[in-house]
Chains A and B, each alone.
Chain A
Amino acid sequence: MTVRSTRRLIIATAALALAAPSAVWAQNKVSLGVAIPAATHGFTGGIVWWANEAKKELEKAHPDLKITIKTAANAGEQANQLQDLVSATKINALVVFPFESAALTKPVAQVKSKGVYVTVVDRGLTDTSAQDAYVAGDNTAFGKIPADYLAKALGGKGNIVALRGIATTLDNERMDAFNSVMKNHPDIKLLDAKYGNWNRDDAYKVMQDYLTRFKQIDAVWAADDDMAVGVLKAIDQAKRSDIRIVFGGAGAKGMVKTLMDGKDPRIQADVSYSPKFIYDAIKLTAEARLKGEKLPPTTIIPSVLITKDNAKSFYFPDSPF
């Protein structure tokens, strides 16, 4: 039984692989491949949405441009897609949001060695010679801006608890930046920082336990707008009024809306880290390549403080994020 069903499965998979479309856009001047992670949570959902927005707008504006978007569920799949983009789609430019830095370095280097112009987004490769340009959000500012804001709002004194995302270099950069600001404020105590996995449910549980453990908390650095949702629910349920500020991160539309409407006194500010940078990266790359130009080696899309005053320019009601 198992042997038979396994064999059937293999045949089915093979059939699926053969049936996959292998479009050829060789007649275009710029054939741009976009390799990004699949929409598995709010942020990557935003990445996929913004990539498709870029495709829609840019293909309309430039008849010589063809954009092919591939989403991958893991690093291995993304590596395969890069090969397909080169051999089947015949791309001459690539925008890649690598699933993992180390694992994708060799596959991206392979693409570049075939003469494809490569722009890497967000997660830097371990060997930067494998890329022509690098476009990224500012993770240091993502940690520094909330730290500065909280230090000022608390008057340099108080208790903070923090949540972390998933153990990655990106998460470490943010946490280190936060800590280095807090070093200058000895009267602010960071009580603990635990992983909430950028996930509402996990953040809810971690916050519940913080509330059990610490009787006086002045501010929460939730470090992500999804996690902030879980944090707020946990505080409401415990009916605690000591927490004055909850600081999320990324600028999800729900949180920006709350800011705009002033609906929750605990939400006074946020820091931008929009998945829109994939849109920027595609646009910059496509327009430069159409003119035969190069991008600067590094472009940092700045993270900025979002408050009630500027919230409007960060509100994209149609984006899923």
Chain B
Amino acid sequence: MRPEPATDRFSWARLHALGPIAGLVLLCIAGTLLNPEFATLDNAMNVLTRTAFIGIIAVGMCFVIISGGIDLSVGSMAALIAGAVILAMNALGEAGWGGTTVVAVGMGFALLLGALFGLAHGLLITRGRIEPFIVTLGTLGIFRAYLTYFSNGGAITLENSLADAYSPVFYGSVLGVPAPVWVFALVALVGALILNRTAYGRYVQAIGSNEQVARYAAVDVDRIKVLTYMLLGVCVGIATLLYVPRLGSASPTTGILWELEAIAAVIVGGTALKGGAGSITGTVVGAVLLSVISNILNLTSIISVYLNAAVQGFVIVVVAFLQRRRR
């Protein structure tokens, strides 16, 4: 291969890092032209709020993918956590606990469950030496089947008084910005700090780019991997504790295909599926981009509803093309 001048390579890298942002800006311009309502603050907040679930999960997923792993179970995990939390909260409510206490306990329970599921994944992958794809494909089925079992195939619904006590967590806002958007921003910020400014973050990237070398460099690969899956589990827990107050219910359709949306957000955002390198900023932009597409489609009717999924597919491919890396 012919060596390239360093400056050339540098500018290419810069351009590609801007790919997802350029895609998002173009989409926003298109959206505004198609329907001026798109550019209103209310609509922007709607989009960011609904992105929060996938976005928060995608931040955790970004770590897992950078480390060279994958987690296909996050959608089912979110659904099962939502169902389990609602059942637990209803039980505590019946036992006569106060609304605020029940909500606090429920939120803590969501985080704990997420961390435990992540721990199980991590141990099966490192100690059990099973491919992450297979482990999480298995739990994808297990988690959703248990939710379906608990709900008898119907919906698990949060009791009304508790739903009222819980609703500010989703519907409340601080300084005009909805609570889920604040949480999303905070998770992304902390995620970026951990990835770029801590030893753990550097180990995650090292393991993803070459696991053997990382082992020789005395990195405790297994521990870092387990922690990474737990981190993702906690992110799923956070997303779920925001999700539950929205509709106050969990059903077998809850969180369906979230795993693919989260993975797509990470990859569209410029993280390599084979691991090693990636960015939280890109992931956030990727997640917003995906929900902007369906938002624009809902705000217009120029494209047949039968083709909505195709539009999403085209945009994903085009943006992935814009941000592709040189090999």
Contact = CB atoms under 8 A, between A and B. Distances in A.
A44 B151 CA distance: 12
B251 A212 contact: no
Contacts of A5: 130-131, 134
Nearest to A229: B247
Interface string B136-158: 00000000000010011111010
Contacts of B42: 212
A302 interface: no
Contacts of B171: 237
A233 B306 contact: no
Interface string B284-327: 00000000001100110100011010000000000000000000
Interface stretch (A34-42, A121-129, A306-314): A34-42
Given A201-B247, A212-B37, A230-B247, A49 B253 contact: no
A64 interface: no
Given A1-B131, A213-B37, A233-B246, A195 B152 contact: no
Nearest to B137: A9
A190 to B, nearest CB: 11
A131 to B, nearest CB: 26
A200 B129 CA distance: 38
Contacts of A194: 298, 305, 308
Contacts of A164: 305
Given A39-B148, A212-B46, A213-B37, A45 B299 contact: no
B131 A167 contact: no
Contact of A321 (B37, B154, B256, B308): B154
A212 B299 contact: yes
Contacts of A195: 305, 308
A293 B204 CA distance: 70
A40 B254 CA distance: 10
Residue of B35, B46, B154, B171 with highest tally of chain A CB at under 10 A: B154
A320 B40 contact: no
A320 B130 contact: no
Given A1-B131, A213-B299, A40 B148 contact: yes
Indicate the member of A45, A167, A195, A321 with the most B CB atoms within 10 Å: A45
Nearest to A199: B253
A46 interface: yes
A49 B308 contact: no
A46 B154 contact: yes
Contacts, number: 101
A53 interface: no
A204 B35 CA distance: 20
B141 to A, nearest CB: 10
Interface residues of A, number: 42
B153 A49 contact: yes
A208 interface: yes
Given A5-B134, A9-B134, A42-B153, A200 B148 contact: no
Most chain B CB atoms below 10 A, which of A204, A205, A230? A205
Contacts of B131: 1-2, 5
A192 interface: yes
Given A39-B148, A200-B249, A226-B251, A210 B154 contact: no
A263 to B, nearest CB: 10
B153 A320 contact: yes
B299 A209 contact: yes
Contacts of A198: 253
Contacts of B246: 201, 204, 233
A42 B35 contact: no
Contacts of B253: 40-41, 197-201, 226
Interface in B215-261: 246-247, 249, 251-254, 256
Contacts of A321: 153-154
B298 A41 contact: no
B50 interface: yes
Contacts of B32: none
B35 A229 contact: no
Contacts of B130: 5
A32 interface: no
A44 B253 CA distance: 11
Contacts of B35: 213
Contacts of B299: 209, 212-213
A208 B46 contact: yes
Given A39-B148, A230-B247, 8 more contacts: A5-B130, A39-B153, A41-B252, A46-B153, A46-B154, A48-B153, A192-B301, A237-B171
21 contacts: A1-B129, A1-B131, A39-B148, A40-B153, A41-B153, A42-B153, A42-B155, A44-B153, A45-B152, A46-B153, A195-B308, A200-B247, A201-B253, A208-B46, A208-B50, A209-B43, A212-B42, A213-B298, A226-B155, A254-B157, A320-B153
Minimum-distance CB pairs A-B, first 5 = A45-B153, A39-B153, A320-B154, A209-B298, A320-B152
